[in-house]
Structure 1
Amino acid sequence: MSYIYSAPIIVFDVNETLLDIDTLTPLFTRLFGDNNRLREWFAQLVLYSQTMTLSGLYTPFGELGVGALQMTADIHAVTLTEEDVQEFKQRMSEMPAHPDAIPALTKLRDAGFRLVTLTNSAPSASPTPLEKAGLSEFFERNFSVANVSQFKPAPATYQMVARELSVETSELCLVACHLWDVIGAQAAGCQGAFITRPYNALLSAPNVPKPDFIASDLITLAEHIIKHQSS
Protein backbone atom coordinates (compact mmCIF):
# COMPACT_ATOMS: atom_id res chain seq x y z
CA MET A 1 0.00 0.00 0.00
CA SER A 2 1.49 3.38 -0.99
CA TYR A 3 0.56 6.43 1.08
CA ILE A 4 0.32 9.92 -0.36
CA TYR A 5 1.18 12.21 2.54
CA SER A 6 0.95 15.39 0.45
CA ALA A 7 -2.56 14.62 -0.70
CA PRO A 8 -5.44 16.89 0.32
CA ILE A 9 -7.86 15.86 3.02
CA ILE A 10 -11.06 14.74 1.28
CA VAL A 11 -14.18 16.33 2.76
CA PHE A 12 -17.40 14.57 1.81
CA ASP A 13 -20.84 16.09 1.72
CA VAL A 14 -23.29 13.53 3.12
CA ASN A 15 -26.92 13.90 2.01
CA GLU A 16 -27.35 12.83 -1.63
CA THR A 17 -23.58 12.66 -2.20
CA LEU A 18 -23.10 9.58 0.01
CA LEU A 19 -26.64 8.81 1.19
CA ASP A 20 -29.49 8.23 -1.26
CA ILE A 21 -32.35 10.66 -0.65
CA ASP A 22 -34.34 9.04 -3.46
CA THR A 23 -35.30 6.38 -0.92
CA LEU A 24 -37.74 9.03 0.39
CA THR A 25 -39.66 8.81 -2.90
CA PRO A 26 -42.30 6.29 -1.70
CA LEU A 27 -43.28 8.61 1.14
CA PHE A 28 -43.61 11.64 -1.13
CA THR A 29 -45.55 9.60 -3.68
CA ARG A 30 -47.95 8.46 -0.98
CA LEU A 31 -48.40 11.95 0.46
CA PHE A 32 -48.59 13.94 -2.78
CA GLY A 33 -49.39 11.41 -5.49
CA ASP A 34 -46.34 12.71 -7.37
CA ASN A 35 -42.76 11.58 -6.81
CA ASN A 36 -41.50 14.89 -8.24
CA ARG A 37 -42.51 16.54 -4.97
CA LEU A 38 -39.38 15.07 -3.39
CA ARG A 39 -37.21 17.32 -5.53
CA GLU A 40 -39.49 20.29 -4.91
CA TRP A 41 -39.17 19.74 -1.14
CA PHE A 42 -35.39 19.36 -1.33
CA ALA A 43 -35.02 22.55 -3.38
CA GLN A 44 -37.09 24.44 -0.79
CA LEU A 45 -34.94 23.02 2.00
CA VAL A 46 -31.70 24.13 0.33
CA LEU A 47 -33.15 27.55 -0.56
CA TYR A 48 -34.34 28.30 2.95
CA SER A 49 -31.25 26.95 4.69
CA GLN A 50 -29.19 29.38 2.65
CA THR A 51 -31.73 32.15 3.25
CA MET A 52 -31.40 31.65 7.00
CA THR A 53 -27.62 31.97 6.81
CA LEU A 54 -27.73 35.05 4.58
CA SER A 55 -30.20 36.58 7.04
CA GLY A 56 -27.99 35.88 10.06
CA LEU A 57 -30.42 33.29 11.42
CA TYR A 58 -30.13 29.61 12.25
CA THR A 59 -32.49 26.67 12.73
CA PRO A 60 -31.22 23.07 12.71
CA PHE A 61 -31.41 21.42 9.30
CA GLY A 62 -33.75 18.66 10.46
CA GLU A 63 -36.27 21.19 11.73
CA LEU A 64 -36.02 23.13 8.49
CA GLY A 65 -36.61 19.84 6.67
CA VAL A 66 -39.87 19.29 8.53
CA GLY A 67 -40.84 22.91 7.93
CA ALA A 68 -40.12 22.58 4.20
CA LEU A 69 -42.23 19.42 4.13
CA GLN A 70 -45.13 21.30 5.72
CA MET A 71 -44.58 24.20 3.30
CA THR A 72 -44.74 21.82 0.35
CA ALA A 73 -47.90 20.27 1.77
CA ASP A 74 -49.49 23.71 2.24
CA ILE A 75 -48.64 24.70 -1.34
CA HIS A 76 -50.38 21.59 -2.66
CA ALA A 77 -53.25 21.58 -0.14
CA VAL A 78 -52.15 18.32 1.45
CA THR A 79 -52.83 17.64 5.12
CA LEU A 80 -49.96 16.02 7.02
CA THR A 81 -50.52 13.89 10.08
CA GLU A 82 -48.11 13.46 12.98
CA GLU A 83 -47.55 9.91 11.73
CA ASP A 84 -46.50 11.31 8.34
CA VAL A 85 -43.97 13.60 9.98
CA GLN A 86 -42.59 10.79 12.13
CA GLU A 87 -42.22 8.54 9.08
CA PHE A 88 -40.40 11.35 7.31
CA LYS A 89 -37.97 11.78 10.21
CA GLN A 90 -37.34 8.04 10.41
CA ARG A 91 -36.70 7.71 6.67
CA MET A 92 -34.34 10.70 6.81
CA SER A 93 -32.30 9.00 9.53
CA GLU A 94 -32.10 5.68 7.69
CA MET A 95 -31.10 6.62 4.15
CA PRO A 96 -28.84 3.94 2.64
CA ALA A 97 -25.49 4.59 1.01
CA HIS A 98 -25.28 4.91 -2.75
CA PRO A 99 -23.85 1.70 -4.26
CA ASP A 100 -20.67 3.52 -5.36
CA ALA A 101 -19.92 4.98 -1.92
CA ILE A 102 -18.10 2.09 -0.23
CA PRO A 103 -15.96 1.15 -3.28
CA ALA A 104 -14.92 4.80 -3.77
CA LEU A 105 -14.17 5.39 -0.10
CA THR A 106 -12.17 2.16 0.00
CA LYS A 107 -10.05 3.31 -2.96
CA LEU A 108 -9.32 6.66 -1.37
CA ARG A 109 -8.56 5.19 2.04
CA ASP A 110 -6.25 2.55 0.55
CA ALA A 111 -4.43 5.30 -1.37
CA GLY A 112 -3.66 7.04 1.91
CA PHE A 113 -6.13 9.90 1.82
CA ARG A 114 -7.59 11.25 5.04
CA LEU A 115 -11.39 11.32 4.86
CA VAL A 116 -13.86 13.46 6.81
CA THR A 117 -17.45 14.60 6.31
CA LEU A 118 -19.13 18.00 6.42
CA THR A 119 -22.90 18.05 6.57
CA ASN A 120 -25.67 20.60 6.98
CA SER A 121 -27.38 18.13 9.31
CA ALA A 122 -26.97 18.51 13.05
CA PRO A 123 -25.04 15.86 15.02
CA SER A 124 -27.18 12.89 16.02
CA ALA A 125 -26.97 10.20 18.65
CA SER A 126 -25.50 6.80 17.82
CA PRO A 127 -26.31 5.01 15.64
CA THR A 128 -25.84 7.93 13.29
CA PRO A 129 -27.07 7.92 9.67
CA LEU A 130 -23.51 7.15 8.53
CA GLU A 131 -23.28 4.26 10.99
CA LYS A 132 -26.62 2.88 9.81
CA ALA A 133 -25.42 3.14 6.20
CA GLY A 134 -22.17 1.30 7.00
CA LEU A 135 -19.93 4.26 6.13
CA SER A 136 -18.73 5.62 9.47
CA GLU A 137 -15.57 3.47 9.57
CA PHE A 138 -14.08 5.39 6.64
CA PHE A 139 -14.03 8.80 8.33
CA GLU A 140 -11.71 10.12 11.00
CA ARG A 141 -13.97 13.08 11.80
CA ASN A 142 -17.55 14.11 11.05
CA PHE A 143 -18.23 17.84 11.00
CA SER A 144 -21.57 19.63 11.21
CA VAL A 145 -22.33 23.21 10.25
CA ALA A 146 -24.17 23.40 13.59
CA ASN A 147 -20.76 24.25 15.09
CA VAL A 148 -20.84 27.64 13.35
CA SER A 149 -24.65 28.02 13.05
CA GLN A 150 -24.33 28.66 9.32
CA PHE A 151 -25.21 26.44 6.39
CA LYS A 152 -23.08 25.59 3.40
CA PRO A 153 -21.93 27.26 1.19
CA ALA A 154 -21.03 29.91 3.80
CA PRO A 155 -17.22 30.26 3.95
CA ALA A 156 -17.28 29.74 7.74
CA THR A 157 -18.36 26.11 7.29
CA TYR A 158 -15.31 25.10 5.23
CA GLN A 159 -13.01 27.28 7.32
CA MET A 160 -14.26 25.51 10.44
CA VAL A 161 -13.15 22.14 9.03
CA ALA A 162 -9.71 23.51 8.17
CA ARG A 163 -9.35 25.07 11.61
CA GLU A 164 -10.38 21.88 13.43
CA LEU A 165 -7.89 19.85 11.38
CA SER A 166 -5.14 22.47 11.78
CA VAL A 167 -4.67 22.88 8.03
CA GLU A 168 -5.29 25.58 5.43
CA THR A 169 -8.44 25.42 3.30
CA SER A 170 -6.14 24.82 0.30
CA GLU A 171 -5.36 21.43 1.85
CA LEU A 172 -9.00 20.36 1.64
CA CYS A 173 -10.90 18.91 -1.31
CA LEU A 174 -14.68 18.94 -1.00
CA VAL A 175 -16.61 16.15 -2.74
CA ALA A 176 -20.29 16.91 -3.38
CA CYS A 177 -23.02 16.29 -5.92
CA HIS A 178 -24.35 19.83 -5.37
CA LEU A 179 -22.53 22.38 -7.48
CA TRP A 180 -23.44 25.20 -5.08
CA ASP A 181 -21.53 23.33 -2.37
CA VAL A 182 -18.49 22.85 -4.61
CA ILE A 183 -18.57 26.53 -5.65
CA GLY A 184 -18.69 27.58 -2.00
CA ALA A 185 -15.77 25.36 -1.09
CA GLN A 186 -13.68 26.64 -3.99
CA ALA A 187 -14.49 30.24 -3.09
CA ALA A 188 -13.24 29.48 0.43
CA GLY A 189 -9.92 28.24 -0.99
CA CYS A 190 -10.59 24.49 -1.13
CA GLN A 191 -10.32 22.20 -4.12
CA GLY A 192 -13.67 21.01 -5.47
CA ALA A 193 -14.76 17.61 -6.75
CA PHE A 194 -18.20 17.41 -8.37
CA ILE A 195 -20.20 14.23 -8.93
CA THR A 196 -22.99 14.67 -11.44
CA ARG A 197 -25.66 12.53 -9.84
CA PRO A 198 -29.17 12.74 -11.32
CA TYR A 199 -30.77 16.20 -10.91
CA ASN A 200 -27.33 17.84 -10.66
CA ALA A 201 -25.27 19.38 -13.46
CA LEU A 202 -22.64 21.99 -14.22
CA LEU A 203 -23.59 25.66 -14.46
CA SER A 204 -22.13 27.55 -17.41
CA ALA A 205 -22.04 31.25 -16.58
CA PRO A 206 -19.38 33.95 -16.16
CA ASN A 207 -17.25 33.72 -12.99
CA VAL A 208 -18.61 30.30 -12.02
CA PRO A 209 -15.49 28.25 -11.14
CA LYS A 210 -15.04 24.90 -12.82
CA PRO A 211 -14.61 22.01 -10.37
CA ASP A 212 -11.10 20.57 -10.12
CA PHE A 213 -12.53 17.07 -10.59
CA ILE A 214 -15.75 15.99 -12.34
CA ALA A 215 -17.26 12.52 -12.77
CA SER A 216 -20.66 10.86 -13.01
CA ASP A 217 -20.01 8.44 -10.14
CA LEU A 218 -17.94 8.36 -6.96
CA ILE A 219 -15.68 5.52 -8.07
CA THR A 220 -14.52 7.39 -11.18
CA LEU A 221 -14.18 10.58 -9.17
CA ALA A 222 -11.98 8.80 -6.62
CA GLU A 223 -9.81 7.42 -9.42
CA HIS A 224 -9.38 10.92 -10.88
CA ILE A 225 -8.29 12.29 -7.50
CA ILE A 226 -5.86 9.43 -6.89
CA LYS A 227 -4.37 9.72 -10.40
CA HIS A 228 -3.91 13.47 -10.02
CA GLN A 229 -2.06 13.10 -6.71
CA SER A 230 0.13 10.32 -8.13
CA SER A 231 1.20 12.34 -11.18
Structure 2
Amino acid sequence: MTPMTRARPEVVAFDVNETLLDLAPVRAALVEAGEPESLLSTVFARTLLTGFAAAAVGSWCRFRDAFDDALAQEADLSADRRAAVADSFGELAPHPDVEPALRRLTEAGVRVITLTHGSPGVAEAGLERGGVTPLVERSLSSEVIRVWKPSREVYVWAAGSCDVAPERMALVAAHGWDVQGAQRAGLTGAWFPRSERIFPTVYGQADVVAADLAGAVDALLALPPR
Protein backbone atom coordinates (compact mmCIF):
# COMPACT_ATOMS: atom_id res chain seq x y z
CA MET A 1 0.00 0.00 0.00
CA THR A 2 1.29 3.49 -0.83
CA PRO A 3 0.65 6.41 1.57
CA MET A 4 -1.50 9.14 0.02
CA THR A 5 1.13 11.77 0.90
CA ARG A 6 3.55 10.35 -1.67
CA ALA A 7 3.65 11.83 -5.16
CA ARG A 8 5.27 10.83 -8.41
CA PRO A 9 9.02 11.42 -8.11
CA GLU A 10 11.06 13.64 -10.40
CA VAL A 11 14.18 11.53 -9.83
CA VAL A 12 14.46 7.81 -9.12
CA ALA A 13 17.66 6.54 -7.53
CA PHE A 14 18.55 2.86 -7.76
CA ASP A 15 20.70 0.82 -5.44
CA VAL A 16 23.41 -0.99 -7.41
CA ASN A 17 24.64 -4.32 -6.00
CA GLU A 18 21.92 -6.97 -6.41
CA THR A 19 19.22 -4.39 -7.18
CA LEU A 20 20.60 -3.52 -10.63
CA LEU A 21 23.75 -5.60 -11.05
CA ASP A 22 23.93 -9.40 -10.87
CA LEU A 23 26.60 -10.64 -8.44
CA ALA A 24 27.16 -13.85 -10.44
CA PRO A 25 30.79 -12.94 -11.33
CA VAL A 26 31.64 -12.64 -7.64
CA ARG A 27 30.15 -16.07 -6.96
CA ALA A 28 32.17 -17.45 -9.88
CA ALA A 29 35.35 -15.88 -8.49
CA LEU A 30 34.73 -17.57 -5.14
CA VAL A 31 34.36 -20.93 -6.87
CA GLU A 32 37.59 -20.31 -8.79
CA ALA A 33 39.28 -19.59 -5.45
CA GLY A 34 38.08 -22.97 -4.15
CA GLU A 35 35.15 -21.71 -2.09
CA PRO A 36 31.42 -22.47 -2.48
CA GLU A 37 29.42 -19.80 -4.30
CA SER A 38 26.97 -19.83 -1.39
CA LEU A 39 29.68 -18.17 0.71
CA LEU A 40 28.88 -14.84 -0.95
CA SER A 41 25.70 -14.28 1.04
CA THR A 42 27.61 -14.65 4.32
CA VAL A 43 30.50 -12.48 3.19
CA PHE A 44 28.19 -9.82 1.81
CA ALA A 45 26.22 -9.72 5.06
CA ARG A 46 29.43 -9.41 7.10
CA THR A 47 30.61 -6.64 4.77
CA LEU A 48 27.46 -4.66 5.46
CA LEU A 49 27.77 -5.34 9.19
CA THR A 50 31.29 -3.92 9.16
CA GLY A 51 30.27 -0.80 7.27
CA PHE A 52 27.12 -0.23 9.29
CA ALA A 53 29.03 -0.61 12.58
CA ALA A 54 31.66 1.88 11.44
CA ALA A 55 28.95 4.35 10.48
CA ALA A 56 27.12 3.87 13.78
CA VAL A 57 30.16 4.97 15.79
CA GLY A 58 31.01 7.87 13.50
CA SER A 59 33.82 6.12 11.64
CA TRP A 60 34.11 4.99 8.01
CA CYS A 61 35.78 2.41 5.79
CA ARG A 62 35.77 1.68 2.09
CA PHE A 63 33.40 -0.99 0.79
CA ARG A 64 36.32 -2.89 -0.73
CA ASP A 65 38.20 -2.93 2.58
CA ALA A 66 35.11 -4.11 4.47
CA PHE A 67 34.60 -6.84 1.86
CA ASP A 68 38.24 -7.94 2.15
CA ASP A 69 38.00 -8.16 5.94
CA ALA A 70 34.73 -10.10 5.69
CA LEU A 71 36.26 -12.54 3.21
CA ALA A 72 39.31 -13.01 5.44
CA GLN A 73 36.99 -13.86 8.34
CA GLU A 74 35.04 -16.46 6.35
CA ALA A 75 37.67 -18.09 4.09
CA ASP A 76 41.33 -19.08 4.34
CA LEU A 77 42.48 -17.24 1.23
CA SER A 78 45.69 -15.34 0.53
CA ALA A 79 45.56 -11.59 0.09
CA ASP A 80 46.04 -12.04 -3.66
CA ARG A 81 43.13 -14.49 -3.87
CA ARG A 82 40.91 -12.15 -1.90
CA ALA A 83 41.89 -9.27 -4.17
CA ALA A 84 40.96 -11.33 -7.23
CA VAL A 85 37.51 -11.98 -5.76
CA ALA A 86 37.05 -8.28 -4.96
CA ASP A 87 38.18 -7.35 -8.48
CA SER A 88 35.29 -9.40 -9.87
CA PHE A 89 32.90 -6.62 -8.79
CA GLY A 90 34.26 -4.82 -11.84
CA GLU A 91 32.76 -7.57 -14.05
CA LEU A 92 29.14 -7.19 -12.94
CA ALA A 93 26.36 -6.71 -15.48
CA PRO A 94 22.70 -5.71 -15.12
CA HIS A 95 19.92 -8.20 -14.49
CA PRO A 96 17.75 -8.76 -17.60
CA ASP A 97 14.87 -6.71 -16.18
CA VAL A 98 16.95 -3.56 -15.65
CA GLU A 99 17.04 -2.08 -19.15
CA PRO A 100 13.25 -2.09 -19.72
CA ALA A 101 12.61 -0.68 -16.24
CA LEU A 102 15.04 2.20 -16.67
CA ARG A 103 13.78 2.89 -20.17
CA ARG A 104 10.19 3.07 -18.93
CA LEU A 105 11.16 5.76 -16.45
CA THR A 106 13.21 7.86 -18.87
CA GLU A 107 10.48 7.69 -21.52
CA ALA A 108 8.06 8.96 -18.88
CA GLY A 109 10.32 11.97 -18.28
CA VAL A 110 11.68 10.76 -14.92
CA ARG A 111 15.38 11.24 -14.23
CA VAL A 112 17.34 8.09 -13.27
CA ILE A 113 20.49 7.87 -11.13
CA THR A 114 22.32 5.16 -9.21
CA LEU A 115 23.22 5.47 -5.53
CA THR A 116 25.66 3.11 -3.85
CA HIS A 117 28.10 2.97 -0.97
CA GLY A 118 30.13 0.57 -3.09
CA SER A 119 33.39 1.31 -4.83
CA PRO A 120 33.30 4.15 -7.38
CA GLY A 121 33.35 2.85 -10.93
CA VAL A 122 31.51 -0.42 -10.27
CA ALA A 123 28.09 0.95 -11.22
CA GLU A 124 29.46 2.78 -14.25
CA ALA A 125 31.26 -0.32 -15.55
CA GLY A 126 28.21 -2.52 -15.04
CA LEU A 127 25.86 -0.08 -16.74
CA GLU A 128 28.25 0.24 -19.67
CA ARG A 129 28.51 -3.54 -19.95
CA GLY A 130 24.73 -3.79 -20.10
CA GLY A 131 24.37 -0.98 -22.61
CA VAL A 132 22.16 1.09 -20.32
CA THR A 133 24.51 4.00 -19.59
CA PRO A 134 22.46 6.41 -21.78
CA LEU A 135 19.45 5.82 -19.51
CA VAL A 136 21.26 6.96 -16.34
CA GLU A 137 21.89 10.63 -15.64
CA ARG A 138 24.63 10.06 -13.08
CA SER A 139 26.13 7.45 -10.77
CA LEU A 140 26.77 8.45 -7.16
CA SER A 141 28.94 6.65 -4.62
CA SER A 142 28.76 7.79 -1.02
CA GLU A 143 32.47 7.05 -0.71
CA VAL A 144 32.72 10.66 -1.92
CA ILE A 145 31.28 11.87 1.39
CA ARG A 146 32.66 8.91 3.43
CA VAL A 147 29.29 7.70 4.66
CA TRP A 148 27.48 4.37 4.27
CA LYS A 149 23.83 3.91 3.47
CA PRO A 150 21.39 3.79 5.23
CA SER A 151 22.66 6.94 6.96
CA ARG A 152 20.27 9.83 6.33
CA GLU A 153 23.14 11.98 5.09
CA VAL A 154 23.62 9.82 2.00
CA TYR A 155 20.08 10.24 0.69
CA VAL A 156 19.94 13.96 1.43
CA TRP A 157 23.30 14.37 -0.33
CA ALA A 158 22.00 12.45 -3.36
CA ALA A 159 18.91 14.63 -3.58
CA GLY A 160 21.01 17.76 -3.31
CA SER A 161 23.33 16.49 -6.03
CA CYS A 162 20.28 16.29 -8.30
CA ASP A 163 18.95 19.71 -7.21
CA VAL A 164 15.69 18.30 -5.87
CA ALA A 165 14.16 18.14 -2.41
CA PRO A 166 14.24 14.65 -0.83
CA GLU A 167 10.45 14.32 -1.15
CA ARG A 168 10.82 14.66 -4.93
CA MET A 169 13.15 11.67 -5.14
CA ALA A 170 12.47 7.94 -4.80
CA LEU A 171 14.83 5.09 -4.07
CA VAL A 172 14.34 1.61 -5.52
CA ALA A 173 16.21 -1.20 -3.78
CA ALA A 174 16.05 -4.92 -3.19
CA HIS A 175 17.28 -4.32 0.38
CA GLY A 176 14.83 -3.41 3.12
CA TRP A 177 17.44 -1.51 5.15
CA ASP A 178 18.13 0.76 2.16
CA VAL A 179 14.45 1.52 1.61
CA GLN A 180 14.00 2.26 5.31
CA GLY A 181 16.94 4.67 5.28
CA ALA A 182 15.59 6.46 2.23
CA GLN A 183 12.11 6.85 3.70
CA ARG A 184 13.45 8.20 6.99
CA ALA A 185 15.35 10.80 4.96
CA GLY A 186 12.13 11.89 3.25
CA LEU A 187 12.39 9.96 -0.02
CA THR A 188 9.74 7.61 -1.38
CA GLY A 189 10.92 4.04 -0.91
CA ALA A 190 10.20 1.16 -3.29
CA TRP A 191 11.19 -2.42 -2.46
CA PHE A 192 11.07 -5.61 -4.52
CA PRO A 193 12.62 -9.02 -3.85
CA ARG A 194 15.87 -10.44 -5.14
CA SER A 195 17.84 -12.08 -2.32
CA GLU A 196 15.34 -10.92 0.34
CA ARG A 197 12.06 -12.82 0.29
CA ILE A 198 9.92 -10.27 2.15
CA PHE A 199 10.23 -6.67 3.26
CA PRO A 200 11.39 -6.83 6.92
CA THR A 201 8.39 -6.21 9.15
CA VAL A 202 10.59 -4.63 11.84
CA TYR A 203 11.03 -1.64 9.51
CA GLY A 204 7.32 -0.91 9.37
CA GLN A 205 5.72 -0.29 5.98
CA ALA A 206 7.48 0.47 2.73
CA ASP A 207 5.88 3.12 0.54
CA VAL A 208 5.90 0.65 -2.35
CA VAL A 209 6.26 -3.13 -2.21
CA ALA A 210 6.22 -4.85 -5.59
CA ALA A 211 6.67 -8.38 -6.86
CA ASP A 212 9.49 -7.37 -9.20
CA LEU A 213 11.47 -4.43 -10.54
CA ALA A 214 8.94 -3.67 -13.27
CA GLY A 215 6.18 -3.56 -10.67
CA ALA A 216 8.16 -1.15 -8.50
CA VAL A 217 8.65 1.21 -11.43
CA ASP A 218 5.00 0.96 -12.46
CA ALA A 219 3.90 1.77 -8.90
CA LEU A 220 6.08 4.89 -8.77
CA LEU A 221 4.79 6.11 -12.13
CA ALA A 222 1.23 5.52 -10.94
CA LEU A 223 1.62 7.90 -7.99
CA PRO A 224 -0.36 11.15 -8.32
CA PRO A 225 1.46 14.17 -9.76
CA ARG A 226 2.39 17.05 -7.52
Q: Structure 2 length as normaliser, TM-score? A: 0.88
**1:3 aligned residue:** none
Q: Return the match for 2:141 from 136, 144, 150.
A: 144
Q: Provide the rounded CA distance (Å) in 2 between the counterparts of 1:198 and 1:217.
A: 12
Question: What residue is the counterpart of 1:116 in the other structure?
Answer: 113
Q: What CA distance in whole angstroms lies between the structure 1 residues aligned with 2:44 and 2:34?
A: 14
Deviates more, 1:93-102 or 1:213-222: 213-222
* C-alpha deviation, 1:129, in angstroms: 3.1
Report the counterpart of residue 77 of structure 2 in structure 1: 79
Distance 1:200 1:157, change over 3 A: farther
Partner of 2:181: 184
% identity of equivalent residues: 29
Q: What residue is the counterpart of 1:222 in the other structure? A: 217
Distance between the aligned counterparts of 2:41 and 2:62, measured in 1?
20
Q: Deviations over 1:121-153 (max 9, x none)?
A: 232399633323323221112111112211000
Partner Cα distance (1:81, 1:69) in 2: 10
Please tell me whether residue 89 in structure 1 is matched to residue 91 in structure 2.
Answer: no
1:202-222 CA-to-partner distances (Å, cap 9, x unmatched) read 1123xx231111123211221
Query: Within 5 Å, which residues of 2 pair with 1:27-106?
Result: 27-31=29-33, 33-73=35-75, 78-80=76-78, 82=80, 84-106=81-103
Inter-partner Cα distance in structure 2 for 1:197 and 1:11: 17
1:33 deviates by 4.2
Please state whether the residue corresponding to 1:228 is helix, strand or coil: coil
Judge conservation of contact 2:114–2:123 (CA < 8 Å) in 1. Answer: no
Q: 1:199 to 1:22 in 2, by over 3 A?
A: farther
| Inter-partner Cα distance in structure 2 for 1:103 and 1:125 | 21
Stretches (4+) displaced over 4 A:
none
Map Cα deviations across residues 138-184 of structure 1 (whole Å, 9 max, x no partner).
Answer: 11121111122110000000010112222211111000000000000
Find the partner of 1:159 among 140, 156, 159.
156
CA deviation after TM superposition for structure 1 residue 21, in Å: 1.2
Name the count of aligned residue pairs: 220
Cα distance between partner residues in 2 of 1:14 and 1:159: 18
Q: Does the Cα contact within 8 Å between 1:28 and 1:34 map onto a contact in 2? A: yes
Answer whether contact 1:186 1:209 (CA < 8 A) is retained.
no
User: Which stretch shifts more, 39-48 or 119-128?
Assistant: 119-128
Task: Tell me by how many angstroms 1:30 deviates.
Answer: 4.3
Structure 1 gaps of 5+ residues are 1-5
Q: Give, in angstroms, the shift of residue 229 of structure 1.
A: 4.1
TM-score (norm 1): 0.86
Contact 1:178–1:200 (CA under 8 A) maintained in structure 2 = no
